Amino acid sequence: MTDAAVIDAIGHHLPEARETNDELARRIDTSDEWIRTRTGIRARSRAGDDEPTSVLATRAGREALGRATNGGADVDTVIVATTTPDMKCPATAPVVASDLGLENTATFDINSACTGFLAGLATAAGLITSGNSRAVLLVGAEKYSSIIYPQDRGTSPIFGDGAAAMVLRPGYRQQAGAIGRVHLGSDGRLWALAHVLSGGSAQPLAADPHDPFLRMDGRATYRHAVARMTDSCQRVLKDESLTAEDVDLLVAHQANARILTEVARELEVPAEKALVDLTDIGNTAAASIPVALSRAQEAGVLRGGETVLLTAFGAGASWGSTVLRWPELTSPNLTTTEGPNR
Ligand code: COA
């Protein structure tokens, strides 16, 4: 009997366009030097007007399905983790399922901001181990440029657009790629750390031009992100009877390079084992962890057998962590010179 969900395939899609720090500095009061030293970001990915979240998600989903066992023919659930759905209703997942030609699938979104992909992993694993789903396509997809107030220098430099998708199917706890315990938590009292005021039932219409866009208390977010990701990682390591020394790769939500460094230091994971995958794309929120994993797989950083620690912190204030042994996956781009990001 199956007792775990296992990772079968992964893929990602990043829009081609980038807004560099210098370009940003031409329209807001900032500088390349300020952004690089505070965040580690040099450019952020920007989807076009004709590329809503569902388009990015569908492209990532198609890549993952193309690498999945049987082309993912048995996928019966599509979950999209996103803070930037195409529209308020319906969810983005049914649009993605339809665009991928997946009929009669269960579809829903998860809105847990940057923690969304980890909440999605826990959900997908529950659906599979309970027998409610044969295979799940889990997508993290964001078009944060759609909720960034163009003149806001606290958020404009940070966020980018992108998507990544994973196919999960039934397997065994001892198998590489098995999803074990996902530690999830939140402190709802801190919901105002990062929020979009209007467009919901509390305030349908904007009273101020900034209301439809993200407001973020950057400094407080930074502090809570470091503390919560560290604590959550320590819990999952303890649950799995592992220590920081067992970790081959720390893939934290790509919020900001300084946050990544600090979490690694707090955990006593050597800095070279903390993946940094935001320099050319920025923070892609719910997409950042799977994009980082997919790019690490394509670059040969992940080959199979590595102990990978995943952790995230996001609006809500929510957080999550899990640790897993990376599986050997089919990655066509390893054997060709062409493909995304080459
Ligand atoms: N360019 C230049 N100066 C800027 C600026 C920008 N883009 N943004 C803010 N500043 C200025 C401020 O006005 C302030 O000036 P002052 O000291 O004269 O008042 C100074 O820089 C410090 O501002 P502060 O907001 O305290 O900066 P910070 O060191 O906290 O860095 C962030 C700001 C946003 C980079 C940082 O807080 C951060 O990365 N937070 C985490 C955000 C994040 O990762 N969110 C996603 C989590 S899911």
- 17 to 151, 191, 293: CA distances (angstroms): 19, 32, 21
Question: pLDDT at position 332, please?
Answer: 55
Question: pLDDT at position 48, please?
Answer: 97
The closest residue, in CA terms, to atom 1 on ligand 1 is 30
Question: pLDDT at position 333, please?
Answer: 47
Question: pLDDT at position 134, please?
Answer: 97
Q: Report pLDDT digits (tens) over 150-181.
A: 999 999 999 999 999 999 999 999 999 999 99
Q: Report pLDDT digits (tens) over 66-115.
A: 999 999 999 999 999 999 999 999 999 999 999 999 999 999 999 999 99
**Confidence band (pLDDT; 50, 70, 90) for 1?**
confident
User: How far, in Å, from the CA of 85 to the mean position of ligand 1?
Assistant: 27
d(CA 165, CA 141): 8
The closest residue, in CA terms, to atom 7 on ligand 1 is 153
- At the topology level of CATH, where does 183-325 sit? Peroxisomal Thiolase; Chain A, domain 1 (3.40.47)
Instruction: State what percent of residues in the chain have pLDDT above 70.
Output: 96
Task: For residue 64, give the H/E element and its range.
Answer: helix 53-67
Question: pLDDT at position 101, please?
Answer: 97
Instruction: State what percent of residues in the chain have pLDDT above 90.
Output: 96
d(CA 312, CA 237): 15
d(CA 194, CA 283): 14
Please indicate whether residue 233 is annotated as part of the active site: no
Residue 334 has pLDDT above 50, yes or no: no
d(CA 10, CA 65): 8
User: How far, in Å, from the CA of 28 to the mean position of ligand 1?
Assistant: 13
Q: Do domains 4-171 and 183-325 have the same CATH topology?
A: yes
**Confidence band (pLDDT; 50, 70, 90) for 330?**
confident
d(CA 110, CA 290): 15
Selecting among 13, 183, 233, 283, the annotated active-site residue is 283
3-state helix vs strand vs coil in the chain, percent to 5: 35, 25, 40
Cβ neighbours of residue 327 closer than 8 Å, sequence gap 6 or more: 6, 7, 175, 176, 177, 304
Please indicate whether residue 114 is annotated as part of the active site: yes
Q: Report pLDDT digits (tens) over 249-264.
A: 999 999 999 999 999 9
Q: Is there a contact between 198 and 210 (Cβ–Cβ < 8 Å)?
A: no
Q: Report pLDDT digits (tens) over 208-232.
A: 999 999 999 999 999 999 999 999 9
Token pair for 200: 């919901």
3-state secondary structure of 70: helix
Q: Is there a contact between 257 and 205 (Cβ–Cβ < 8 Å)?
A: no
Give me the residue spans of the domains in the chain: 4-171, 183-325
The closest residue, in CA terms, to atom 3 on ligand 1 is 30
Q: Indicate the average pLDDT of the chain.
A: 95
Cβ neighbours of residue 80 closer than 8 Å, sequence gap 6 or more: 53, 54, 57, 91, 92, 93, 96, 107, 108, 109, 110, 139, 140, 141
Model's pTM, two decimal places?
0.95
Q: Report pLDDT digits (tens) over 181-194.
A: 999 999 999 999 99
Please give all residues whose beta carbon lies within 6 A of any atom in ligand 1, as ranges: 30, 34, 38-39, 114, 153-154, 157-158, 216, 218-219, 221-222, 225, 255-256, 259, 283, 313-314
288 vs 342 pLDDT, higher one = 288
Selecting among 114, 183, 233, 333, the annotated active-site residue is 114
Most informative mutation of 39, 151, 219 for ligand 1 (most atoms within 8 A of CB): 219
Does a cis peptide bond (omega within 30 degrees of 0) precede residue 157?
Answer: no
**Confidence band (pLDDT; 50, 70, 90) for 296?**
very high
In the chain, what's the furthest Cα-to-Cα distance? 59
Selecting among 13, 183, 253, 256, the annotated active-site residue is 253
Query: Sign of the CA dihedral 79, 80, 86, 89?
Result: positive
The closest residue, in CA terms, to atom 41 on ligand 1 is 222
Q: Which CATH number fits domain 4-171: 3.40.47.10, 3.40.710.10, 3.40.50.360, 3.40.1190.10?
A: 3.40.47.10
**Confidence band (pLDDT; 50, 70, 90) for 342?**
very low
Could you identify the atom of ligand 1 that is nearest to the CA of residue 256?
A: 44
